[in-house]
Chains A and B, each alone.
Chain A
Amino acid sequence: MAMNDDQSSARTVRLTVNGAKREARASVRTTLADFLRHTLRLTGTHVGCEHGVCGACTVLVDGRSMRSCLMLAVQADGREITTIEGIAPSPDTLHPLQQAFSEHHGLQCGFCTPGMLTTLVELLRDNPQPSEAEVRSAISGNLCRCTGYQGIVDATLAAAKALAASGQRA
């Protein structure tokens, strides 16, 4: 969806996205998901249900996982947002979680992947050595129709191990 250009109800939203300061006008009713995708053109965040169930639109807001479809752009004013585009440390290197997703077939169509990755980055940051049950519980608010979740769970446990071995934090 494009931005509503009704300027009477528009506000300037200033926020940090993936480490970069951004500023743009947003109608007060524009969701954060639409603002990220269509105003800032960060289309890696996906919209799956727009009622907060599927989790595809999950981003990190000040480090916490949030549904960007249930949040308004104006509510993100002054916040720090991390999206899937901001997870890899560099253009040549994947985050260990991304690497593990590839190695363990944690994605098929990849549409739920942005929400899975942001959710799991938060999990591994807060709980670097989760049990399988904890991983399953962490992504229980993220729907995937392709994988049956097995590859995602395997990838997360492998990423936790890789992170621990390298002494990195998620």
Chain B
Amino acid sequence: MSTTMHASDHKVIGHSVPRLEDPPLLRGVARFVDDIALPGMLQMAFVRSPHAHARINSIDKSAALALPGVHAVFTLDDFRPYIRDPLIRTALPSPSFKESRHRPLLADREAVYVGEAVAVVVADDRYIAEDAVALVDIDWDPLPAAADVRSALAPDAPVAHGDAKHNVAAEFTFDFGDIDSAFGAAKHTFSGTWSMHRGVGQPIECRGVVANYDELDDKLTLWSSTQTPHAGKRQLCALLGRSDHAVRVVTPDVGGGFGPKLVFYCEEAVAALAAMLLRRAVKWIEDRREHFLSTTQERDEIWEASIALDADARILGIRAKLMHDNGAYMVRGVNVPYGAASTLPLAYLVPALKVDVLAVTTNKVPVTPIRGAGKPQGVLVMERLLDTAADGLGLDRAEIRGRNLVPRAMIPYQTPLKTRGGMTVVLDSGDYPAAQAAAMEKAGWATFRARQAEARAAGRYIGLGIANYVEGTGRGPYEPVSVKVGEDGRILVACSGAAIGQSTKTMLAQIVAEQLGHDLSNISVITGDTAATDLGQGTFNSRLTVVAGPTAHAAAVKVREKALRVAAHLMGVGEQALEIVGRHVRLRGSEEPGLELGAISRAAYGLPGYYLPGGVDPGLSATEMVIINDMTYSNGTGVVEVEVDIETGDVRVERIVMSHDCGTVIHPQAVEGQIIGGLAHGLGNALYERMCYDANAQPTSTTLAEYLIVTATEMPKRIDMIEVPTPTPLNALGVKGVGETGVIPMAAAVASAIEDALSPFAVKITSMPVMPPDIIALITASRQQKAESSA
């Protein structure tokens, strides 16, 4: 392993350079999937189930097919002759599965959630396609729905799938240590039930796909707003029985991912099939209503948890039961509840843990990761347990945390935890107590009680909440990057991972520029194109900077060594005498221009019958695939100040302080941007975003007027970010992931702050998001209780 570099050694890394992504986006000439127009391209619209659970008796396409401008209406039966498998199998394996409900390409005899695609119309334009969707006549038999986790687990619950015996999708126990002894020896125990809502990803750009089949080359090309183009390509190859080289998937500019664009969807497969069957390019662009109804969702979990403490309020053990809503199908496996359970104890010394996990099948949109991927829930439960214990023991909420945080001296700390892939969780770096102390100091924790008393005297209810988090980032095993100096001297960087708005191209360019001349204007970056790189896992789990970053570094170092070797040969000097400055290799300290990178590239190409210069391999390029198995753990502390209006129930977030540690920072502005964006998402989860369903699992929030995303006026004016950097020893750059950081502690910190603000009412915040009617109900109940006890 190479030694970790420090930001101070760098000329490009660690600086907020202008982003490569910005100019086309600012001028309106970027290319998102819906900006692609191919000759003769047709448009698709999907017929979707209006029922949460229903049998499909028949589908009559005749009226739709008769509409002028309609080219085809396809159901699963129409596709069967052309596919190897009617199911889309995307779940990561786990021995915990009790049922393996993979999504069908299109619902066939039974639909299991509102919004499930049943048929597709292909027409001249989207307007006609949507007209025709209304003309597809389906004979439905509505069936009872498994509407939510609790009712789906009842003994006489309706089953979510007609042929199922129960609604348990998976069951596992996540444990270490002796939990019974821990509770047996406990001086204090505290318990509670906490839940988090089901949210929606809500990138401003919905999903979308364009498919084209080139008969001459027998090549299928898909442009998809996906986070995982290589996975999409493999799915298509498997589904259609096509060779690896006969399918290309490209992720163009993406208007935000946030997780749900990670999995392969039926619409992508259907677009490919329609393009091949009709020999026409086809496009499908998800509308916002479809996003609410068909794009995967996350966070519905109910936790019953207890904590055992010794006389000094040190944690002895935590016992919990987690009921996780998995939705109607097993789309990504159990990674979300696994992530929730495994994140719960991470920041603290927890000698014993036992979490019994039930993943439950319901008649709702399937669940896969959204920014945070279970971690916000795990942190919510851990931090609520600590707040409950602190309140019960009359301890300061920060004090109980300070007594239990993993101390700096124990890092690297080999925890008893395993990742889902069986690797030991080692907290590789970080100073958790320092992060907490920094956030507390900045937030004025020590003087807050006086401010609060003053505010209360004036009839204002302000509160301060705190939450710590440690998150696994940079999931392996690899993400290929190639670096090539062209014959014109320009540098092309290609990375398998898709860029979805997180400055990925700039990040890669900075890392490469650090080795190859420090000139960002000389670098172009291709991301997420299966024709540009072989293999690739994709964009998720805060992994690109951690996995692709060091890989780009390794490739750039190789190209640098090669360039110097060829140049040394051509110039007749030693390699050590040379340096790369801008687009030239020159003698160190010399004012002479030296050799252009382009000339070195041309020389490295070789000539027929001649030795390659300097004995290098041909071409001034390198492709690397650094294997990174162990995750690196980012951490931090969020402190939130709120003011609660006890008459209206309104919660105003006045201030957020966030200390964080993502190791070496490549682009300070981009890191801050990722965190603030995450904070906004987290505030939404805490206070505004609630995906509502009725008792029959019929969605009742299907517009952005009903499902509220944080706007500029809800964000606090005061956001302070404090870096507490400890570069990881696990990669050459010392980088740790940051893309999900902001979202993870917010629900916990806001819940803590609201309880603190309303401490005269002794309310308990147990369910997120907490909305004004919830606050009013809590205050009202508290007043009634007080009135009754005094009566």
Residues of A within 8 A of B (CB): 1-6, 27, 29-30, 37-38, 41-51, 53-54, 56, 83-85, 88, 94, 98, 101-105, 107-114, 117, 132, 135-137, 139-153
Q: When chains A and B are docked, how far (Å) is the Cα of A120 from the Cα of B660?
A: 32
Which of B361-369, B626-634, B672-680 forms contacts with chain A? B672-680
Contact at A84–B126, with CB atoms within 8 Å? no
Contact partners of A43 in chain B: CB under 8 A: 28, 31-32, 34-35
Interface centre among A42, A113, A135, A151 (most CB of B within 10 A): A113
Contact with A109, one of B31, B204, B669 (Cβ below 8 angstroms) = B204
Considering the complex, give the chain B residue whose CB is closest to the CB of A29. Answer: B127
Task: Decide if B356 is an interface residue (CB 8 Å cutoff).
Answer: no
Q: Which of B583-599 contact A (CB under 8 A)?
A: none
Contact partners of A4 in chain B: CB under 8 A: 124-125, 127-128
Q: What distance in Å separates the Cβ of A71 from its nearest Cβ neighbour in chain B?
A: 16
Contact partners of B29 in chain A: CB under 8 A: 44, 85
Contact at A1–B43, with CB atoms within 8 Å? yes
Contact digits for B670-708, partner A, Cβ 8 Å, 1 yes 0 no: 101110111111000000000000000000000111000
Contact at A102–B127, with CB atoms within 8 Å? no
Q: When chains A and B are docked, how far (Å) is the Cα of A85 from the Cα of B26?
A: 9
5 A/B residue pairs, CB under 8 Å, sorted by A: A44-B29, A102-B22, A112-B204, A140-B711, A149-B711
Contact digits for B7-22, partner A, Cβ 8 Å, 1 yes 0 no: 0000000001011011
Contact at A2–B204, with CB atoms within 8 Å? no
Known: A5-B69, A145-B677, A153-B712. A111 touches B27 (CB 8 A): no
Considering the complex, give the chain A residue whose CB is closest to the CB of B702. Answer: A51
Interface centre among B28, B29, B202, B205 (most CB of A within 10 A): B28
Contact at B204–A46, with CB atoms within 8 Å? yes
Known: A5-B125, A29-B127, A110-B255. A151 touches B673 (CB 8 A): yes
Q: When chains A and B are docked, how far (Å) is the Cα of A38 from the Cα of B23?
A: 22
Contact partners of B253 in chain A: CB under 8 A: 109-110
Contact partners of A41 in chain B: CB under 8 A: 37
Contact with B205, one of A46, A83, A102, A140 (Cβ below 8 angstroms) = A46
10 tightest A-B contacts by CB?
A44-B28, A109-B501, A111-B255, A110-B25, A84-B28, A148-B676, A1-B126, A148-B680, A53-B704, A43-B35
A sample of 10 more A-B contacts (CB under 8 A), given A43-B35, A49-B288, is A38-B37, A44-B30, A47-B34, A47-B285, A111-B501, A117-B26, A136-B713, A140-B713, A145-B258, A149-B715
Task: Decide if B419 is an interface residue (CB 8 Å cutoff).
Answer: no
Known: A101-B22, A110-B255. A83 touches B204 (CB 8 A): no
Contact at A107–B677, with CB atoms within 8 Å? no
Q: What distance in Å separates the Cβ of B696 from its nearest Cβ neighbour in chain A?
A: 24
Contact at A49–B719, with CB atoms within 8 Å? no
Contact partners of A107 in chain B: CB under 8 A: 22, 25-26
Contact at A136–B681, with CB atoms within 8 Å? no
Contact partners of A135 in chain B: CB under 8 A: 712
Task: Decide if B549 is an interface residue (CB 8 Å cutoff).
Answer: no
Task: Decide if B41 is an interface residue (CB 8 Å cutoff).
Answer: yes
Contact partners of A145 in chain B: CB under 8 A: 202-204, 256, 258, 677, 680-681, 709
Q: When chains A and B are docked, how far (Å) is the Cα of A112 from the Cα of B28?
A: 11
Contact with B256, one of A30, A103, A146, A152 (Cβ below 8 angstroms) = A146
Contact partners of A29 in chain B: CB under 8 A: 127
Contact at A113–B673, with CB atoms within 8 Å? no
Q: What distance in Å separates the Cβ of B501 from its nearest Cβ neighbour in chain A?
A: 3
Known: A29-B127, A101-B22, A107-B25. A143 touches B669 (CB 8 A): no
Q: What distance in Å separates the Cβ of B760 from its nearest Cβ neighbour in chain A?
A: 31
Q: When chains A and B are docked, how far (Å) is the Cα of A117 from the Cα of B25?
A: 11
Q: What distance in Å separates the Cβ of A111 from its nearest Cβ neighbour in chain B?
A: 3
| Residues of A contacting B: mostly | loop
Contact partners of A88 in chain B: CB under 8 A: 26-27
Q: What distance in Å separates the Cβ of B622 from its nearest Cβ neighbour in chain A?
A: 30
Considering the complex, give the chain A residue whose CB is closest to the CB of B502. Answer: A108
Known: A45-B28, A98-B26, A146-B501. A109 touches B43 (CB 8 A): no
Contact at A85–B203, with CB atoms within 8 Å? no
Q: When chains A and B are docked, how far (Å) is the Cα of A51 from the Cα of B704?
A: 8
Q: Which of B64-89 contact A (CB under 8 A)?
A: 68-69
Q: When chains A and B are docked, how far (Å) is the Cα of A46 from the Cα of B32?
A: 9
Q: When chains A and B are docked, how far (Å) is the Cα of A55 from the Cα of B22?
A: 20
Task: Decide if B503 is an interface residue (CB 8 Å cutoff).
Answer: yes
Q: What distance in Å separates the Cβ of A73 from its nearest Cβ neighbour in chain B?
A: 12
Contact at A102–B18, with CB atoms within 8 Å? yes
Contact at A49–B704, with CB atoms within 8 Å? yes
Task: Decide if B287 is an interface residue (CB 8 Å cutoff).
Answer: yes
Considering the complex, give the chain B residue whose CB is closest to the CB of A102. Answer: B22
Considering the complex, give the chain B residue whose CB is closest to the CB of A114. Answer: B28
Contact at B713–A50, with CB atoms within 8 Å? no
Q: Which of B311-367 contact A (CB under 8 A)?
A: none
Contact at A109–B203, with CB atoms within 8 Å? yes
Contact partners of B705 in chain A: CB under 8 A: 51, 53
Task: Decide if B717 is an interface residue (CB 8 Å cutoff).
Answer: yes
Contact at A27–B127, with CB atoms within 8 Å? yes
Interface centre among A46, A51, A111, A136 (most CB of B within 10 A): A111
Contact at B205–A48, with CB atoms within 8 Å? yes
Known: A2-B43, A51-B288, A108-B503. A148 touches B28 (CB 8 A): no
Task: Decide if B254 is an interface residue (CB 8 Å cutoff).
Answer: yes
Considering the complex, give the chain A residue whose CB is closest to the CB of B678. Answer: A148
Contact at A48–B502, with CB atoms within 8 Å? no
Q: When chains A and B are docked, how far (Å) is the Cα of A134 from the Cα of B288?
A: 29
Task: Decide if B493 is an interface residue (CB 8 Å cutoff).
Answer: no
Q: What distance in Å separates the Cβ of A140 from its nearest Cβ neighbour in chain B?
A: 5
Considering the complex, give the chain A residue whose CB is closest to the CB of B684. Answer: A145
Contact partners of A143 in chain B: CB under 8 A: 204, 704, 709, 711
Contact partners of B35 in chain A: CB under 8 A: 37, 43
Q: When chains A and B are docked, how far (Å) is the Cα of A118 from the Cα of B503?
A: 23
Q: When chains A and B are docked, how far (Å) is the Cα of A145 from the Cα of B719?
A: 17
Q: What distance in Å separates the Cβ of A26 from its nearest Cβ neighbour in chain B?
A: 11
Q: What distance in Å separates the Cβ of A159 from its nearest Cβ neighbour in chain B?
A: 12
Q: What distance in Å separates the Cβ of A90 from its nearest Cβ neighbour in chain B?
A: 11
Contact with B679, one of A48, A105, A148 (Cβ below 8 angstroms) = A148
Task: Decide if B500 is an interface residue (CB 8 Å cutoff).
Answer: yes
Q: When chains A and B are docked, how far (Å) is the Cα of A6 from the Cα of B127?
A: 10
Q: When chains A and B are docked, how far (Å) is the Cα of A151 from the Cα of B501?
A: 14
Contact with B41, one of A2, A53, A142 (Cβ below 8 angstroms) = A2
Q: Which of B271-292 contact A (CB under 8 A)?
A: 285, 287-288
Contact partners of B206 in chain A: CB under 8 A: 48
Contact partners of A49 in chain B: CB under 8 A: 288, 703-704
Contact at A84–B27, with CB atoms within 8 Å? yes
Known: A5-B125, A143-B709, A145-B709. A48 touches B204 (CB 8 A): yes
Interface centre among A30, A145, A150, A151 (most CB of B within 10 A): A145
Q: When chains A and B are docked, how far (Å) is the Cα of A4 from the Cα of B68?
A: 11
Contact partners of B258 in chain A: CB under 8 A: 145
Q: What distance in Å separates the Cβ of A17 from its nearest Cβ neighbour in chain B?
A: 12
Contact partners of A112 in chain B: CB under 8 A: 204, 255
Contact digits for B34-46, partner A, Cβ 8 Å, 1 yes 0 no: 1101000101000
Q: When chains A and B are docked, how far (Å) is the Cα of A31 from the Cα of B717?
A: 36
Contact partners of A42 in chain B: CB under 8 A: 28
Contact partners of B28 in chain A: CB under 8 A: 42-45, 83-85, 114
Contact partners of A50 in chain B: CB under 8 A: 287-288
Q: Which of B248-267 contact A (CB under 8 A)?
A: 253-256, 258
Q: When chains A and B are docked, how far (Å) is the Cα of A145 from the Cα of B502?
A: 12
